Amino acid sequence: MSLRQFYPKRNNRKGLSTWQLFALYSISTVVVGLQISYPLVDGEPLRLITIATVYWAAGAMLLHAVFAYGISYTSIFFLITFTYALIIEQIGSRSGWPFGSYEYSGTLGYQIYGVPLVVPFAWVMIAHPMLVVARKVTKNWVFLYGGLGMMAWDLFLDPQMVAAKRWIWEFSGPSVPLQPQIPLSNTFGWLLTGMGLMAILNRALRMDRRNSINVPPIHNYFLGWTWFGGVVGNIFFFGTPGVALTGGVVFALLMLPYIFVLRFGPPSNI
């Protein structure tokens, strides 16, 4: 009989410190506050809130990734996602593929060759929770599930940004159901590019479970708030119930398997 049986290996996993919890919840609270204020202002304050929301939300997701999976994981995730998004957006805004023909206005701040810097951070903002969700739900189809999730998220984002004239579409073909201002090609483009990003991230990032069980599931709260805010905002503030219905139904259907696994699936730290 080995000594290990008498002295089991010590569990080195520790919960977050007080300041770490404070930082994580504080940043997340700022994000919610910014999103709540969005329909209540206009003009220059609205423009600044739009930009700030993305940066703060991306920061919250990156901080969660650091605490749950480590610095190395987060650095690789950010480098891949930011670079991938910037390349895709450069191609898309110049060629019209794969999203369709669109052009960014000058209202989103500093641009990198025509693409606002804030845009790749929007990809970072949603790619982290979608990767976590996809890995929880499936082992072999992470790329597909994650890509569908990013596509569903854009059903809320694009109509809101187009209405605010952050970017402009030029198309004459079919549009997204109940969203006449958004080309259907954009939805397929998000699915295609989302699957590509999820496939790369899933291959590059190890299934690191070191501390995730001890970190508050901020990504889950963010996804829930995305759905709730998208539905409520479009019905009661933006006057676009079609967006609420399309985005709300598709996003909810995508999240149902995840909710089921969280409730009834086997224990997992992912």
Counting the structural domains of the chain, the total is: 1
* Residue 124 to residue 85: CA distance in whole angstroms: 9
Three-state secondary structure call for residue 141: coil
Q: Please provide the DSSP assignment of 74-131 as one string.
A: HHHHHHHHHHHHHHHHHHHHHH-TTT-EEEE-GGGS-EETTEETHHHHHHHHHHHHHH
Higher pLDDT, 2 or 166: 166
Query: What pLDDT, on a 0 to 100 scale, did the predictor assign at position 9?
Result: 44
Q: Which of 125, 154, 148 lies closest to 257 in space, CA to CA?
A: 148
Query: What pLDDT, on a 0 to 100 scale, did the predictor assign at position 240?
Result: 97
Q: How far is CA 169 from the centre of its chain?
A: 22
175 lies in some domain: yes
Domain that holds residue 251: 16-264
Of all residues in the chain, what percent carry a pLDDT higher than 90?
A: 88
Identity of the highest mean pLDDT range in 46-55, 208-217, 261-270: 46-55
Query: What pLDDT, on a 0 to 100 scale, did the predictor assign at position 3?
Result: 45
Q: Which of 207, 201, 268, 216 lies closest to 70 in space, CA to CA?
A: 207
* Residue 205 to residue 63: CA distance in whole angstroms: 16
Query: What pLDDT, on a 0 to 100 scale, did the predictor assign at position 207?
Result: 77
Query: What pLDDT, on a 0 to 100 scale, did the predictor assign at position 174?
Result: 97
- Flag whether pLDDT at 1 surpasses 50: no
Cβ distance 181 to 175 under 8 Å? yes
197 lies in some domain: yes
Residues 194-205: what's their mean pLDDT? 98
- Flag whether pLDDT at 107 surpasses 90: yes
9 lies in some domain: no
165 lies in some domain: yes
- Flag whether pLDDT at 216 surpasses 60: yes
Backbone angles phi, psi at 141, to 5 degrees: -120, 35
125 lies in some domain: yes
Q: Which of these ranges, 82-86, 106-110, 202-206, 212-216, has the smallest mean pLDDT?
A: 212-216
Q: Which of 57, 52, 193 lies closest to 128 in space, CA to CA?
A: 57
Per-residue confidence at 15, pLDDT binned at 50, 70, 90?
A: confident
* Residue 195 to residue 248: CA distance in whole angstroms: 21
Determine how β-strand 101-104 pairs with β-strand 167-170: antiparallel
Q: Which of 98, 64, 77, 61 lies closest to 193 in space, CA to CA?
A: 98
Cβ distance 189 to 182 under 8 Å? no
6 lies in some domain: no
Question: Beta-carbon neighbour count of residue 73 at 10 Å?
Answer: 17
Query: What pLDDT, on a 0 to 100 scale, did the predictor assign at position 210?
Result: 54
269 lies in some domain: no
4 lies in some domain: no
- Flag whether pLDDT at 270 surpasses 90: no
Residues 128-138: what's their mean pLDDT? 96
* Residue 56 to residue 83: CA distance in whole angstroms: 19
* Residue 10 to residue 182: CA distance in whole angstroms: 55
Per-residue confidence at 98, pLDDT binned at 50, 70, 90?
A: very high
Q: What integer best gives the mean pLDDT of the chain?
A: 92
Residues 97-103: what's their mean pLDDT? 96
Q: Which of 206, 74, 235, 168 lies closest to 227 in space, CA to CA?
A: 235
Per-residue confidence at 175, pLDDT binned at 50, 70, 90?
A: very high
Query: What pLDDT, on a 0 to 100 scale, did the predictor assign at position 265?
Result: 76
Half-sphere exposure of 106 (CA within 13 A, CB side): 0
Q: What is the pLDDT of residues 149-174, one digit of tens each?
A: 999 999 999 999 999 999 999 999 99
Per-residue confidence at 208, pLDDT binned at 50, 70, 90?
A: low
* Residue 75 to residue 85: CA distance in whole angstroms: 15
